[in-house]
Structure 1
Amino acid sequence: MHFTDTYLPRRDGVVSSIRTLVRALADRGHPGLTVVPRHPGQTGEPDLMRLRALPCGVADLRLSPWLLHGGAAAGTIAEIAASAPEVVHVHTPGPVGLLGVLTARRLGLPLVQTYHTDLHAYVDAYKVPTRALRGAVRLYAHRLGVPRPPVRPEPAPGGAAPSRQAPAASHRRAALDATNLLLLGDADAVVVPTRAVLDRISLPVPDDRVFLVPTGVAPCRTSPTEVAAFRAGNGIAPTDKVILFVGRVNREKGVDLLINSFAELLAGCPRARLVLVGAIYEPRWLAELLRLVGPAVADRITVIGQQPPPVVAAAYGAAEVLAFPSGTDTQALVLQEAALAGVPAVLVDPVLHRHGPLAGAADCAAPTTTGFAAALLRLLTDPAAARRLGQLAADRAAGHTPERYADAICDVYAHAARRHAQVARRQAEWAGRPGPAQPVGAFGRLSDRGRTRR
């Protein structure tokens, strides 16, 4: 059973990862059912359970309202139980993800979580109110029937208690840490796609329950005819040198840095063209960025919005270099997609550059306008160096296939099942003894903060 708060028609790395995993597991004889929020325009798929959902006003996400009406969970869990699942795999921390945690508890199933997203960076980027995050902690604890964990910012340097004037970011972080404790604390296994996750946050689980498993990516197939059609259809001249961005065209992806860097880069490469492929959820913000760089630069920027996989594949085929200005991604599947197409990438995140699936097979620029522009310009003006870097990236990405991904996750499921059985036996033994029960689970291990061992 897979549980996710994001699914088609939204396109993001979590959706891609889940769909890749479900298909690869099914090919190995492990069918799955995926629980998702219902979305207008969703096409029917087999093995998909769609829950009633409402728009939340952020990035076209839709949230299941079961959280506000807890009784609705009973019927859904009964329907899930009828399919006789053997493991619950939660991919997101929203209401559907919480339903997955509750399902695992009520049905006595092993629980696996994948920590796909740097939540701390996202709530900071969107300035999510601390009051809303604290409310979520209270509601999550209530639905799980467990004590509410404390929500306290970390002590100030020197051990002093944080003052009432502590930065809002520290309060947001504390609320997210409490949420992670509720969701992850009892998990039998937690998957992280790269070490970038662990370099940014501390997960509330010990080392022996954390597994490093990059998502496998299949090549995006295209043809010269499709690439030519893509260029012609988007006004890209044969002499244009294409810098490609693929992803949400949003502030947390560093798009402002990219557009400002592109404006500086044009002085050294007037035939450069920036192509932005991805969903646009803040059109006014993007329009203001384009206004500020001026019409001459804006005319060299092509914005084509969210596109289906064949069009994205053609975009890779048309590109000289992939620009990846995000500092919030934990994996960035587009880096692997571009690499498999032979397109070199420029990043600004040194942790993702060093520990991501390409393992350094990219150019890592300083996260400044001048630094990013200079790195992009080097690859645009040195095709031989770009080809070498693209080939190295392709070789690295080729090691992360969907098949290997599924095999690694099967190993995680086996570990989770063994751990779950051991905990159940221990609880049964303690239940038959006099005296207080042994504390097992999240609230028995509050001081145990783990780092990955793999």
Structure 2
Amino acid sequence: MNTLDTDDILVDDLPAPRHSRRLAVVTETYPPEVNGVAMSMARVVDGLHRRNHDVQLIRPRQSAKLMSRAPTGNREVDEVLTKGLPVPLYPNLRMGVPSKRALVKLWSLKRPDVVHIATEGPLGWSALQAAQHLALPVTSDYRTNFHAYGRHYRLGLLSKPIMGYLRKFHNRCDATMVPTETMRVLLAERGFERLHVVGRGVDAQRFDPARRSDAMRASWGAGLDDLVMGYVGRLAPEKNLGVLLAAYEAVKAQRPNVKLVFVGDGPLRAELATRAPEAHFAGQRSGDDLAAHYAGLDLFLFPSLTETFGNVTTEAMASGCAVVAFESAAAGELIRSGVNGWLAGAGREADFVAATRVAAADAQARRAVAEQGRATARRLDWSDITARFEAVLESAIARQQPAVTLPSLQPAA
């Protein structure tokens, strides 16, 4: 049996043990629901667990139909399921119900070091009230452009009250995380406080051009040399898809063999199918199947102006797609037009159409841009994002801890 000579141990070379925290994460959307908030929160929760933290995940109980399709979750995460109600216009999503009393009881028995709230719905508001009742540190995410959504859902008269509620909500937190510097500046101008930029990562191993399949492209009606343009996301008014159709029609006038693919579902599907009957509608996809759909596209069009980040932008870049987008959210911060994608000024629809025509006309430029886009996406590692997220949690904990005053060393008079 080998013996260990302790004289050979250099204590200074041993890494300091990571201080484990007890974290409560509250969200009203989570996989298997498919949306940017759900998917990014799942990556953060997994990353926090990998960094040796005890995570308690509090979310609404999802429908039996949705849960039947759910993969086995992370069994090391303590899940607390609450009552939920369907979200209007989003039948596959559920929002929580007021639960302050239950959360106070839960956290009184098992007190977390910090509470993080990902969504500002009834469950999120209850979590904020419960945390403040127990004097717990609280952090939050600002993830949805409610003020931008208003114009698409006739909420004009409610836009000021909604923004007032959001400002009140987040300003009661010790820190609020936002995905881009642009969003931080916008919210700061509107009176939001204690804002920290924490971006989003992308899984560049899953979203990879190597997943491209000629057989899948053939099922869309595309030949080997045909240009395939596509979109991934919810088919809804706030996604500005009329501009995408205008860009498609402009390209089709130049090259009739162009193909258009929509990946996703939503209330505009029937209208889009009427306006572009030759388009292929792949429906909602996830996991490796979604990654293969991205990789099958040559040109990714993203005309949305309502994103706080837009995970699909980085997923498309990682997948080797050349991207055309407006200069906002993730695209505005990550893309240099003509280098690793093409940008149009925010709201300049004619410029978006023109950029799409330029991208569609030059296959060599498209390939060079796609290669640079992939290189950009590969730098957005989720482990780095989780480390930044963790740092904000630690700053909130430190903000709540009282300062220690050392006794005076001066002799008494």
Smaller-chain TM-score range?
A: 0.7 to 0.9
Among residues 265, 268, 288, which one is paired with 1:310 in the alignment? 288
Matched, 1:365 2:350: no
Aligned match of 2:196: 211
Please give the secondary structure, in 1, of the residue aligned with 2:230: strand
The whole-number CA distance in structure 2 between the counterparts of 1:51 and 1:233 is 42
Query: Is the CA contact (8 Å cut-off) linking 2:239 and 2:303 kept in structure 1?
Result: yes
Matched, 1:276 2:262: yes
Aligned match of 2:54: 31
Q: For residues 102-143 of structure 1, give each alpha carbon's deviation from its aligned partner in whole angstroms, at most 9, with x where no partner exists.
A: 232123211111111111011321113xxxxxxxxxxxxxxx
Q: For residues 401-434 of structure 1, give each alpha carbon's deviation from its aligned partner in whole angstroms, at most 9, with x where no partner exists.
A: 1100011111111111111224x999xxxxxxxx
Please give the secondary structure, in 1, of the residue aligned with 2:271: helix
Among residues 377, 384, 392, which one is paired with 1:404 in the alignment? 384
Among residues 41, 45, 50, which one is paired with 1:22 in the alignment? 45
Question: How far apart are 1:192 and its partner, in Å?
Answer: 0.7
Structure 1: state its 5+ residue gaps: 67-71, 129-168, 427-454
Among residues 40, 43, 52, which one is paired with 2:83 in the alignment? 52
Letter in 1 for 2:202: V
The whole-number CA distance in structure 1 between the counterparts of 2:32 and 2:214 is 27
Q: CA RMSD in A?
A: 2.5
Q: Which has the higher contact order (CA 8 A, sep 6+)?
A: 1
Matched, 1:288 2:271: yes
Counterparts of 1:299-378 in structure 2, within 5 Å, are 299=278, 301-350=279-328, 352-354=330-332, 356-358=333-335, 361-365=340-344, 367=347, 370-378=350-358
Q: For residues 32-91 of structure 1, give each alpha carbon's deviation from its aligned partner in whole angstroms, at most 9, with x where no partner exists.
A: 12221222122363332221111132222322232xxxxx53224323444432111111
Among residues 362, 382, 392, which one is paired with 2:372 in the alignment? 392
Cα gap change, 1:5/1:231 in structure 2, threshold over 3 Å: closer, same or farther?
same
Aligned match of 1:190: 176
Among residues 86, 89, 100, which one is paired with 1:73 in the alignment? 100
The whole-number CA distance in structure 2 between the counterparts of 1:425 and 1:181 is 32
My pick for the range that moved more, 171-180 or 307-316, is 171-180
Structure 2: state its 5+ residue gaps: 1-23, 406-413
The whole-number CA distance in structure 1 between the counterparts of 2:90 and 2:185 is 26
Aligned match of 1:429: none
Letter in 1 for 2:47: A
Q: Figure out how many residues of one structure are paired with residues of the other and give that number.
A: 368
Matched, 1:117 2:144: yes
Letter in 2 for 1:13: G
TM-score by length of 1: 0.75
Letter in 2 for 1:121: A
The whole-number CA distance in structure 1 between the counterparts of 2:349 and 2:255 is 15
Counterparts of 1:411-430 in structure 2, within 5 Å, are 411-422=391-402
Please give the secondary structure, in 1, of the residue aligned with 2:52: coil
Query: Is the CA contact (8 Å cut-off) linking 2:263 and 2:281 kept in structure 1?
Result: yes
